[in-house]
A and B are shown apart, each in its own frame.
Chain A
Amino acid sequence: MSFLGYLINGVSLGSVYAIIALGYTMVYGIAKMLNFAHGDVIMVGAFVIYTAMSSAGLSPILSVILAMVLCTILGMTIEKIAYRPLRNAGSPLAVLITAIGVSYLLQNLGLLIFGADTKSFKSIVNMEALQFAEGQLTISGETIVTIIACVIIMFALTSFVKYTKAGRAMVAVSEDRGAAQLMGINVNGTIALTFAIGSALAAIAGALLCSAYPSLSPYVGSMPGIKAFVAAVFGGIGSIPGAMIGGILLGVIENLSKAYISSQLSDAIVFGVLIVVLLVKPTGILGKNIQEKV
């Protein structure tokens, strides 16, 4: 029974990683860049929700929608100001370094505006926990909502990419940017749309992350951001179902190793598994094997 508890909590943690990893993987797949500021957009989203709920007294749903709108604007602005001018700068390192810069900029702006004190986030989920086997197994409302949200988001994204014009454009840009442009696809617009979707997902991830683990500080996004990046690589970066599988596996491995091996070694085990997977399959679990033609 306790195994089931660890497993469910692991899936819940993994679902949050998965939603964050979707943001990483989409941006990487389409813009071919690692957006290290993604974790900090999560932080911004969480702070927007916190402020909207505690100061403005908005309902949880409205707060999340507001955070999604603001994060979308923020993500597109970052893309337009910081990344787009560098896209053709020659070295892909320039954009990577700028992303790290944006990440620190957001963190420090957060410190300046909200202070370093940890705040307790009020859960957006208002649902009684489910009890099984006379209280031996408890599944909290946050866990249920997180897992459901994760599944819905994955199906929505997959069908968006498969069946809509904008989604097809994304696939085209990710496969060959130059050819896509020649076929009349607006590459800049498509990339901006990717950032918009990724940032809106970050706002949702912020809401779920902080509801499940209610501590809010300007650094709240940095560690989950890194873990989610690992999850994206684990599942095969660029692949939407891969991010999902990678995230959930990561969460489950982390929780089970905490429970059965050692609570302080869990991170070492998670990253050890990552190394083994990459040694065996360098493109990740669902990654495509693309051969470079010389």
Chain B
Amino acid sequence: MKKKLLSALLCVAMVASLVVGCGGKEETAEAPAAAEESASEEATGATFKIGGIGPSTGGAAIYGQAVKNAAEIAVAEINEAGGINGYPVEFIWGDDEHDAEKSVNAYNSLKDQGMQMLLGTVTSTPCIAVADEAAADNMFLLTPSGSAVDCVANDNAFRVCFSDPNQGAASAQYIGENGLATKVAVIYDSSDVYSSGIYETFAAEATNQPFEIVAAEAFTADNKTDFSVQVQKAKDAGADLVFLPIYYQEVALILNEASKQAYAPVFFGCDGVDGLLSVEGFDTALAEGVMLLTPFVADEDNEATQNFVAKYEEQFGGVPNQFAADAYDGMYAIKAAAEKVGLTPDMSISDMCEAMKVAMTEISIDGLTGDITWSADGEPTKDPKAMVIKDGAYTAM
């Protein structure tokens, strides 16, 4: 009985293996055909394939989605106007959930899909990881919003946004040149590279400016709800301006605490403050008079900006933030550089990168985030715009 059962089982196994074997053959038969197809597509060199990587899901999704949406708008516009050097552009997106490992996976998957240049990644930590991969492949990389210094450490990498140190120095200069204050307090997050990076360059530049830093108060990621001490120390030091190189969630708390303590200095922030007005339940009256240096403001009276904002609102709903503007400018920077050197899609990834590296330093674009030129170390040069919150909206100063 047992033997019978065993032989029956073996029979089944044999038949099954035959079926599986056939299936396998069919698949292998199909694969070369698919390969031929993609090969023929490459041979005609129909399209430029530009990849994008960022968090389109997860906690930082607001940034990734903005970049993806804006890049799609730019690509649609470029294709409508005849593409780059006559070749249409295809934008392919990979989600990294703001995670370095997933970002590298997305990079490899996009490479398998034929990516030739990368507009990404969106957030700093994943960007540093992907930048090393891209350097090994000699793939051209332009990050719209990776602001950490190391994002563009390799010579194939460029960025559209300001670097962290750049913002600190620019803020100090702006405050000094416009005589906004004589005594300045700073409240920053010492556990965050973005915030402490800005603070360090701000403090360095402040020594050249006609104001003094009377209080520099830090907080950490584990202790960022109670700001009573930091605000009181700024108040006791007599600061007439409080510099906030931090993100909007904490800015909202600090504004609240200051109003409780009846303390009303000028509050001055960087691009992290962008988003303050959209915090759910936040009393925007508290934000009245808050100043910030940011490269992009959606209600700026400028035809290109208004056009972009209108398109964004129509296609995706909501007002685009500066990440969207950076991505839009980034796509146009790729176009300008590629046209400068007559790039064609049949070039190898490495040849493209070599050509683009040179071209980036020669172009200048009039973008949504200002007139931008690039230096060979990948840093952009553009003027930050000072904004003030008036009647619950960002207004140019």
Q: Please tell me which one of the listed residues B62, B218, B219, B222 contacts residue A223 in the complex, with CB atoms under 8 A apart.
A: B222
Rounded to whole angstroms, the CA-CA distance of A255 and B229 in the bound complex is 7
- The interface residues of chain A lying within 8 Å CB-to-CB of B261 are 138, 140
- The interface residues of chain B lying within 8 Å CB-to-CB of A121 are 281
In the complex, are the beta carbons of B249 and A118 less than 8 A apart?
Answer: yes
- The interface residues of chain A lying within 8 Å CB-to-CB of B260 are 129, 138, 140, 142
With an 8 A cutoff between CB atoms, is B217 at the interface? yes
With an 8 A cutoff between CB atoms, is A291 at the interface? no
With an 8 A cutoff between CB atoms, is B16 at the interface? no
Rounded to whole angstroms, the CA-CA distance of A256 and B167 in the bound complex is 32
With an 8 A cutoff between CB atoms, is A54 at the interface? yes
- The interface residues of chain B lying within 8 Å CB-to-CB of A158 are none
In the complex, are the beta carbons of A213 and B253 less than 8 A apart?
Answer: yes
Q: Interface with B: A30-38, A235-243, A257-265, which one?
A: A257-265
In the complex, are the beta carbons of B253 and A214 less than 8 A apart?
Answer: yes
Contacts known (A263-B229, A267-B223); A131 close to B262, Cβ less than 8 A = yes
Interface string of B224-236 (1 = CB under 8 A from A): 0111111011001
Residue of B nearest to A111 (CB): B59
Q: Interface with B: A1-9, A57-65, A164-172, A183-191, which one?
A: A1-9
Q: Total number of A-B contacts with CB less than 8 angstroms? A: 91
In the complex, are the beta carbons of A120 and B252 less than 8 A apart?
Answer: yes
With an 8 A cutoff between CB atoms, is B280 at the interface? yes
In the complex, are the beta carbons of B232 and A6 less than 8 A apart?
Answer: yes
Q: Please tell me which one of the listed residues B219, B223, B233, B282 contacts residue A120 in the complex, with CB atoms under 8 A apart.
A: B282
In the complex, are the beta carbons of A215 and B253 less than 8 A apart?
Answer: yes
Residue of A nearest to B191 (CB): A264
Residue of B nearest to A2 (CB): B236
In the complex, are the beta carbons of B220 and A119 less than 8 A apart?
Answer: no
Q: Please tell me which one of the listed residues B227, B232, B281, B283 contacts residue A119 in the complex, with CB atoms under 8 A apart.
A: B281
With an 8 A cutoff between CB atoms, is A116 at the interface? yes
Contacts known (A116-B59, A119-B280); A13 close to B252, Cβ less than 8 A = no
Interface string of A102-124 (1 = CB under 8 A from B): 00000000000000111111100
- The interface residues of chain A lying within 8 Å CB-to-CB of B256 are 120, 214
How many of chain A's residues have a CB under 8 angstroms from any CB in B?
40
With an 8 A cutoff between CB atoms, is A90 at the interface? no
In the complex, are the beta carbons of A215 and B225 less than 8 A apart?
Answer: yes
Interface string of B42-73 (1 = CB under 8 A from A): 00000000000000001100100000000000
Rounded to whole angstroms, the CA-CA distance of A188 and B163 in the bound complex is 60
Rounded to whole angstroms, the CA-CA distance of A223 and B62 in the bound complex is 25
Q: Please tell me which one of the listed residues B62, B222, B230, B249 contacts residue A263 in the complex, with CB atoms under 8 A apart.
A: B230
| Top 5 A-B pairs, shortest CB-CB distance | A120-B282, A213-B225, A264-B218, A120-B281, A9-B228
Report B's interface with A, CB cutoff 8 A: 58-59, 62, 190-191, 217-220, 222-223, 225-230, 232-233, 236, 249, 252-253, 256, 260-262, 279-283
- Sample 21 A-B pairs with CB under 8 A, ordered by A number: A2-B236, A9-B226, A9-B232, A116-B59, A120-B252, A121-B281, A129-B260, A131-B262, A138-B262, A142-B260, A214-B256, A215-B249, A216-B281, A217-B249, A223-B222, A223-B223, A254-B226, A255-B229, A264-B190, A267-B220, A267-B222
Report A's interface with B, CB cutoff 8 A: 2, 5-6, 9, 12-13, 50, 54, 116-122, 129, 131, 135, 138, 140, 142, 209, 212-217, 220, 223-224, 254-255, 258-259, 262-264, 266-267
Besides the contacts A2-B232, A13-B226, A223-B222, what 14 more A-B pairs have beta carbons closer than 8 Å?
A116-B59, A117-B62, A120-B280, A138-B261, A209-B225, A213-B225, A214-B252, A214-B256, A223-B223, A254-B226, A255-B228, A264-B218, A267-B222, A267-B223
